[in-house]
Amino acid sequence: MIVRNEAHVVHEVLDCVAPYISSWVIVDTGSEDGTQDIIREHMAKLGIPGELHERPWKNFGHNRSEALDLAAGHADYIWVIDADDLVVGKPDFSQLSADSYTVRYGHPEGFTYWRQQIFRSGLPWRYVGVVHEFVACDEPYENQRLQGDYYIESRRLGGRNLDPQKYARDRDLLLAEMERDPNDSRSAFYLAQSYFDLGDFANARLWYARRAEMGDWEEEVYYSLYRVGESMVQLGEPWPEIQDAYLRAWEFRPTRAEALHAIACHYRKEGRYQLGHLFAQRAAAIPVPDADILFVYSAVSTWSARDELAVCASNLGHHSEAFALCRQMLAGQWISVDDRTRIAVNRDFSVPAKLEIATAYPAARVHAITPRPDADVTITVTCGPHLPGAEATLNSILNTFADRSRIALLLVDEAELSEAERAGLCQRYPSAQWLDAPFSEPASARLGRLAERVKTRFWLHVGGDWRFFAPERLLSRLAAVLDAEPKVLTVAVNFEDATALTGRNAEEKIVRRGIGTGRYVLTDSVPKGPAMFDTERLARIGGIDPDVPDVVADLTTRAAAAGLRSASLDEVLCVLGQ
């Protein structure tokens, strides 16, 4: 590590690397804020031996090479890192065998790039370049990627990054390098970058174009072509010319989606949704280019192209497509809180159209439920006093439950309906069975009668007047949560036991995932709305008490006493009828 005036941040990176290193070598190039003493004292507290050297500043290539030379022989491998970096996750260094390794910088579902940062000690490594330096070696060597569940966060908080003249200084250094060697493609690229960061988009455009003309490394050529388009946007150039620049970038490297995504964004903002849909659909079909190492906007492939596609689809009236896309995005892990909230609202915009489809009478499916030896779910439905509500509930179950084959019994409590309405339901839903219980019985007693009919391990109690709207293997998903959580009694279908659309999701820090579960969270109360019970666990706490005035409160108390909790999916998948 080389440092200068890093007293405000250096202790953080030292703490991050401490679990992985046996020694350290740091070169200070002129700190005036006590960085040297902070490093010595902090590493002494951590109990890790090392050396701090003080050397005059010349340039990045020289000083980093000097630091590598000073570190040689202290360990098998040398890890180069900056003072304002953070290690997120847990890199695995236990199987190192190559001569050098590139490590992942940036969030794996955001903006990422790979840098060669780990070197076998003893080889003649050196850095080349006065700024934006790169590694060279005078002997052949093998380089690999350090894969794993980690990334380095480059925070841009170090002393150099706090210098308001940073980009201007870089520009001047790189202009001098280009004057010295007009064919230096790397200096040309980072000169364009410096102009872009300075907001001088006219010169950025010129130098990106010049870099693209130089050829060589395809990733750098692609990114230069893409940034030509970005610079033109900032300059307010005519859209047809900007689009042509973006398409040239994509044409050069069709495995990258950023340029198509930018075009889709433009058309969506202009309200030209057919064109936005066209370009977003093509961008969303491009997977993350895992082999690329330079400035990859992974989020474009993992979710943001689908975000554009969903908005365009919704505005075109393609609500099933928009709804499915939003659910796919919300199932991801790395979307920000603000984006997650916005996408949830967009998803809910399509729900009325989904409800219209889900609550239609499924003539082709009314005979779909037949008892099977391996069916392991009983569904119970309580009809309200209005026949349309009962029909909407049953229709939505048959239309949206993609795993209907798991239903051993669909049991309906229709005590609040008239004789004629009951007869009509029996005719329209011949695969359902009906509970013979008097309406005069309290709700807890009727629920107890339903529970007595349940002979399967899993019991989904829907209650009355609910409408499901999301095509989903819902039974399997709820059962998977119960399989994954042996101390959970019941799983609610809706997050926060919601009765209507809320646009809310759980904070990522409390979300759990398992095989087939999707996102879910643990809760402390038995839900009032639709939920699946594990009947074996329910039996262990005494089952449904038909004599209590509040079944939910009673179950919550007894479950807690037995060490059982509840859970809920991190979605709203059904709503209560009005």
The CATH number that applies at residue 24 is 3.90.550.10
Q: Are residues 496 and 374 in the same domain?
A: yes
- How many domains in the chain? 3
Count the helices and strands in the chain (H runs, E runs). 21, 22
> Of the candidates 84, 20, 68, which has an alpha carbon nearest to the alpha carbon of residue 46?
20
Q: Where are the alpha helices (DSSP H) in 401-520?
A: 419-428, 443-453, 474-484
360: in domain:
no
Q: Are residues 118 and 196 in the same domain?
A: no
Residue 125, pLDDT > 90, answer yes
Radius of gyration of the chain (CA): 31
Residues 6+ apart with CB under 8 A from 2: 26, 27, 28, 29, 63, 64, 67
List beta partners, residue 463. Answer: 381
pLDDT reported for residue 109: 67
**Distances from the Cα of 9 to the Cαs of 16, 72, 161, in angstroms?**
12, 26, 12
CB 455 within 8 A of CB 378: yes
pLDDT band, residue 156 (cuts 50/70/90): confident
- What distance in Å separates the CA atoms of residue 501 and residue 496, rounded to the nearest whole number? 11
Mean pLDDT score, 193-206: 97
**What stretch of H or E contains 459?**
strand 458-463
Mean pLDDT score, 282-311: 95
Residue 159, pLDDT > 60, answer no
Q: Are residues 402 and 259 in the same domain?
A: no
- Per the structure, the complete domain to which residue 478 belongs is given by 368-576
Q: Are residues 379 and 487 in the same domain?
A: yes
pLDDT tens sequence across 4-35: 999 999 999 999 999 999 999 999 999 999 99
Q: Are residues 321 and 388 in the same domain?
A: no
Residue 576, pLDDT > 60, answer yes
160: in domain:
no
pLDDT reported for residue 237: 98
Mean pLDDT, rounded, of the chain: 93
Q: Are residues 144 and 171 in the same domain?
A: no
pLDDT reported for residue 398: 94
Q: Are residues 424 and 540 in the same domain?
A: yes
- The CATH number of the domain where 250 resides is what? 1.25.40.10
Residue type, 191: L
Residue 436, pLDDT > 90, answer no
Burial 405-425 (b: 16+ CB within 10 A, else e): ebbbbbbbbbbbbeeebbeeb
Question: What count of other Cβ atoms lies within 10 Å of the Cβ of residue 541?
Answer: 18
Residue 90, pLDDT > 60, answer yes
> Of the candidates 163, 171, 239, 181, which has an alpha carbon nearest to the alpha carbon of residue 206?
171
